[in-house]
Chains A and B, each alone.
Chain A
Amino acid sequence: MSRYPRLQSLQEISEVMKRYYVQRSIMARLRPVAYVTSGAPVEILEAMGILTLYPENYGALCGAQGAAVGLCQVSESAGYPADLCSYARSHLGAAMSPKQAPLHGLPRPDLLVCCTNICGTVLKWYEALAEVYRVPLFVLDVPFQRTTPPEPHIVAYVSEQLHELIAWLQAHTGRRLKQERLRQTLQYAREAVSLWQEILAFGQHRPSPINAPDLFVAMAPIVTLRGTRKAVECYRHLKAELEERVARGIGAVPGERYRLLWDNIAIWYRLYRFFRPFMDAGACFVADTYTNAWTVALEVDEPFTGMALAYTGVFINLDLSTRLQTIMKLARRFQVDGVVMHANRSCKPFSITQYEVREALRAELGLPVLILEADMTDSRLYNDGAIQERIAAFLESL
């Protein structure tokens, strides 16, 4: 048996995700399918019985299965630049050449819903998809959040578009949004988010029962199944298992010596392997900014204002000082000894603040910070020799 016992609930989540893709492929013949961005207000679509699929999650899957590079090359041959986000390149490659894609690509969409709260790339990516599939596209324009809470006109602007989205979905699918269904969906989403917050908080224990790569596996339902009972069930099980680990004093990394904070999206093609040298040195990633992005609570009683606030306030749509405060708070609350930042070639909005954040972490908390250049799915941008060297030197300096 491995020195690092896996959480049983992660196995369950992996199974749920496998079934998710299979079931949705089958159900796609019966119900309208919408591709949505990871920060889209999925509760509305879920409540209307529209099947949602996440090209970004699919991109991560391509990365994890080692299929991303081949698919990126397909889209690069078609003229997409190598500097474009590798989720976009992987997914566009899969759309153009489904035969070589995991699961033979995603089922064809009937609709596209693009929410700009996560980046500007999705806008062009979805426009390209609209051309490939010749299906209608709805763009939900979310302004950058410069203050917390956001200015009232931003909330009103986003909230108004949510109503437009509903009318648009009704017009294209003939499905009505029942308020009761929306309420129920928001309730599930709220419960899942709340459980997810509790799960992340387990990292505060010493030793921490959970490590960042575990969270990268565990996060799939909070992204793709938000608003369903299944997500709530998965997280109840995971939470119970973590409670048991804490009660028995079991750490995710046996002999935990260092507590670290991770910044940015996972490196999907090296999910556990990347963390191995850290684990071998007794370093556990007790908190991260990535999985923490899905902790914005949803309001059930004021659904539209609530969704507008939640979807505007996603981590990478925030101004530098709010992000900084979020990271500082995580560093303090989880009592970390250092920070590792993935300078992700693909995700500029996530990576652009890193050197500023690094300065602040050093100046205000005296924390050592390691910045590693890589990419979330394009393994051609990962230089193992150089990365291992930097990790080893960082661990020696702790």
Chain B
Amino acid sequence: MYTAGIDIGAITAKAAILRDGELLATAAIPAGYDRARAAGRVLELALAQAGISRDQIVRLIGTGYGRVLVHGADRTVTEVTCHARGAHYLCPEVRTVIDIGGQDSKAISVGADGRVLEFVMNDKCAAGTGRFLEVMAQALEEDLAGFGALALAASRRVTISSTCTVFAESEVITHLAAGADKAALAAGIHEAIATRLATLVGRIPVRDVVVLTGGVALNVGVVRMLEEKLERRIVVPGYAQLAGAIGAALIAYTDVMDR
């Protein structure tokens, strides 16, 4: 029995297909401006990878900011619930999920069964989100993957004091104009985002195992510096970026089994 989850995030559209509750196929593409179309496309890609057709999917759940745009979804669930379920699937010992998405970041306290006990989210500010990193990487003309590595290679850090993305960008430009070292700046930027995230995470009781999900989990610089700030090891499971879609597909599976 096949179930699917589609997670339409602020930057990326993701899909996961499960066979009898086990991960079978995934896909991720840029969400673009036409999110409804991206939802259709990403599912097609996942279906092709799974080698099955759309009508074999028994139940489909949409999640993420664009979840209402997932055509043909049987129901929608918020990404907080989905990331908790997805992270629990990827790492059953998880008790704290930190999800850093393009538009917002969240810290979720998770029960032994993968249910949300409580959560906090960043409010009304892009600092501490994937968007912040994207803007900063652009300012330094780095791609997102290389950006984290560059930060870790730095021998010193330039302090970025602005918490606002827009102000931080102009701060970075000022530093560049003053001839600051690129790696030291990258390190400072990563430290700024990690500090911001650690503050957010501090608002819930942090219990091990801490799992990082969302697209930013792919950035090794953020992971290391966040570990430094939280003084804890952070697990980045395979498919971390897909945790939301996987969680949605799992909830779809549970829905069917509970019927």
Contacts and interface: CB of A to CB of B under 8 A. Distances in A.
B164 to A, nearest CB: 14
A248 B182 CA distance: 71
Interface stretch (A294-302, A326-334, A385-393): A385-393
B51 to A, nearest CB: 33
A397 B123 contact: no
Interface string B98-133: 000000100000000001111111011000000000
Given A373-B123, A386-B123, A393 B81 contact: yes
B78 A396 contact: yes
Interface string A362-398: 1000001101110000000101011001101110110
Contacts of A133: none
Nearest to B118: A368
Contact of B124 (A362, A368, A369, A373): A373
Contacts of B124: 373, 381, 383, 386
B42 interface: no
B34 to A, nearest CB: 18
Given A355-B203, A385-B65, A386-B104, A393 B123 contact: no
A336 to B, nearest CB: 15
A396 B81 contact: yes
B104 A397 contact: no
B77 interface: yes
Contacts of B18: none
A393 B65 contact: no
B80 interface: yes
Contacts of B79: 389, 393
A351 to B, nearest CB: 12
Interface residues of B, number: 17
Contacts of A383: 124
Given A386-B104, A386-B123, A397 B65 contact: no
A380 to B, nearest CB: 11
A395 B134 CA distance: 31
Interface string B186-214: 00000000000000000100000000000
Nearest to B83: A393
A393 B78 contact: yes
Contacts of B77: 396
A397 B118 contact: yes
Contacts of B123: 343, 372-373, 386
Interface in A88-111: none
A67 B116 CA distance: 39
Interface string B117-153: 1111101100000000000000000000000000000
User: Most chain-B Cβ atoms within 10 A of its Cβ — which of A343, A355, A397?
Assistant: A397
Contact of A392 (B78, B104, B115, B203): B78
A371 B119 CA distance: 10
Contacts of A390: 121
Contacts of A386: 104, 121, 123-124
B65 A389 contact: yes
B119 A393 contact: yes
A362 B203 contact: no
A396 B104 contact: no
Contacts of A394: 119
B253 to A, nearest CB: 17
A394 B104 CA distance: 16
Contact of B117 (A343, A381, A397): A397
Contacts of B65: 385, 389
Interface in B203-239: 203
Contacts of A369: 118
Nearest to B64: A389
B116 A397 contact: yes
A348 to B, nearest CB: 16
A393 B116 contact: yes
A381 B118 CA distance: 24
Given A368-B118, A397-B116, A389 B78 contact: yes
A392 B106 CA distance: 14
B116 to A, nearest CB: 4
Given A386-B104, A386-B123, A386-B124, A396 B118 contact: no
Interface of A: 343, 355, 362, 368-369, 371-373, 381, 383, 385-386, 389-390, 392-394, 396-397
Given A397-B116, A397-B119, 18 more contacts: A355-B203, A362-B118, A368-B117, A368-B118, A372-B123, A381-B124, A386-B104, A386-B123, A389-B78, A389-B104, A389-B121, A393-B78, A393-B79, A393-B80, A393-B116, A394-B119, A396-B80, A397-B80
19 contacts: A355-B203, A362-B118, A372-B123, A373-B124, A381-B124, A389-B79, A390-B121, A393-B79, A393-B81, A393-B119, A394-B119, A396-B78, A396-B81, A396-B116, A397-B80, A397-B81, A397-B116, A397-B117, A397-B118
